[in-house]
Amino acid sequence: MSNNEVEILLVEDNINDAELTIRALNKVNLANNLVHVKDGEEALDFIFGKGVFADRDTYCRPKVILLDIKMPKVDGIEVLRQIKSNEATKTIPVVIMTSSREEQDIITSYKLGVNSYVVKPVNFEAFAKAISDLGLYWLIINQPPI
């Protein structure tokens, strides 16, 4: 798959959570066009075509970004801020997937324009179902702007 065909951009520093997410999406056949990056800096490089992603066609945007908040280098709130403040990327749906139930994180995320805020379930089956449901909604049911 080329970086121009990405449907899901998974931004997750916890390799276990990333693997569980990918496995859950694979189970419902939604992980074929998924790119996983491990921190906010790498996410911004991918989205805006910088660094190792400088050759990527940034006009081909992901259908959804699954974004963790607590990450090294650049946190998810800053990634969200940059995505939603840029004319070219502000319509990309962003779903915060985090273990943080901090009220300030939720408020800040919605003020910045997050499309959904999901607290990761601890239970594996509940986590897998939540991921599958998210993938089905954002890739199949949701109608994005053209």
**pTM > 0.95: yes or no:** no
Distance between CA atoms of 132 and 146, rounded to whole angstroms? 24
Distance between CA atoms of 1 and 35, rounded to whole angstroms? 9
pLDDT digits (tens, 9 = 90+) for 28-46: 998 889 999 999 999 999 9
| 57 token code pair | 């066609």
Domains of the chain listed by start with CATH number: 3-141 (3.40.50.2300)
Residue 12 predicted with pLDDT over 80: yes
- 114 burial (CB, 10 Å; 0-12 / 13-18 / 19+) is buried
Of the candidates 93, 99, 105, which has an alpha carbon nearest to the alpha carbon of residue 138? 93
CB 98 within 8 A of CB 69: yes
pLDDT digits (tens, 9 = 90+) for 99-136: 888 999 999 999 999 999 999 888 888 988 999 999 99
